[in-house]
Amino acid sequence: MDHAADAHRTDLMTITRFVLNEQSKHPDSKGDFSILLNNIVLGCKFVCSAVNKAGLAKLIGLAGDTNVQGEEQKKLDVLSNEVFVKALISSGRTCILVSEEDEEATFVSPPLRGKYCVVFDPLDGSSNIDCGVSIGTIFGIYLVNDLEATIDDALQPGKNMLAAGYCMYGSSCMLVLSTGNGVNGFTLDPSLGEFILTHPDIKIPKTGKIYSVNEGNAKNWDGPTAKYIENCKFPKDGSSPKSLRYVGSMVADVHRTLLYGGIFLYPADRKSPNGKLRVLYEVFPMSFLIEQAGGQAFTGKIRALDLVPKKIHERSPIFLGSYEDVEEIKELYAAAQNQI
């Protein structure tokens, strides 16, 4: 047995240790934020385990109607939602929860109420489960000043977020997190049951060679989007064309964009004039992470994090990724606006 190697494994930067290190930089901190993040991490581990079993579930009778105990078996996205709602409420640190799965916001009862609002998509891309494509959880955290919280406390602009992140369930389980001080990636070590810091201080390249969009919607795009994609494929400056990569699972597409650079776009079109992605728990957290990594996020009109949502399930167009790539599409929209 290699004792030296085992000893080295205990000197790893786990996500718990990382969060506590960040907490120590704020002497007046009571640890509430650390406890909340810890419960989010627990939810991610639980969902990761459930996702890994999903393929087998049909074979061994774990999915479908009822099991031998007479308990109703739940779809993975419904299960994931319940896991996160319970994990967040039991932390005792939340007052409002906004989930993609729930029509209304959840207001935590006074005995368990805390000062944070959490917005989340418990299982983004869940339609891809059956074909084994990467899916994930997306979340964002706001501070609420008044414990007598109202729905307006959830309808804050993205620039007010304290933290955001996503957990991707794929070939490995990876949690990417920003608490407003850069972006860090943690990979789940199944043998330890711990998220280990594997991607410290992620910086998105200034420009990239990949564009990511659903080209099936091309006939419905507006002028600037169509022109940008045309430039990606047939550059006028003699440079190489960009490569198209589109998974259709936002977590997977944004994760690749964050690491390799390039641009991810889900524009407004004639079919979806307000865009398709939800502002609070898809557009805001991903835009927060991209900006923290040195990129940009744009709605076609304004900086994405400056948006002020009016409804909890509001949608918006989004263009996010490498700084220079997003700058190019901003210029196209500005030019189109000047022609009006």
DSSP assignment string, 314-340: -EE-EEEESHHHHHHHHHHHHHHHHT-
Token pair of 53 as six digits: 């079993």
Mean pLDDT for 266-273 is: 94
User: CB atoms < 10 A from the CB of 257, how many?
Assistant: 28
Work out the pLDDT band at 125, boundaries 50, 70, 90: confident
Whether the model clears a pTM of 0.85, i.e. scores above it, the answer is yes
pLDDT over 70 (residue 71) = no
Q: How far apart are CA 116 and CA 33, in angstroms?
A: 8
Q: How far apart are CA 128 and CA 134, in angstroms?
A: 7
Q: Per-residue DSSP letters for 173-213? A: EEEEEESSS--EEEEEETTTTEEEEEE-S----SS-SEEE-
Cα distances from 82 to residues 87, 89, 109, 136, 242, in angstroms, run 8, 11, 17, 15, 41
What percentage of the chain exceeds 70 in pLDDT? Answer: 91
* Angular region, 87: left φ>0, alpha ψ -120 to 50, beta rest: alpha
- The letter for the amino acid at 109 is S
Q: How far apart are CA 190 and CA 183, in angstroms?
A: 23
pLDDT over 70 (residue 263) = yes
pLDDT tens for 130-186 read 788 899 999 999 999 887 889 999 999 999 999 999 999 988 999 999 999 999 999
pLDDT over 80 (residue 67) = no
Total residue count of the chain as it appears in this document:
340
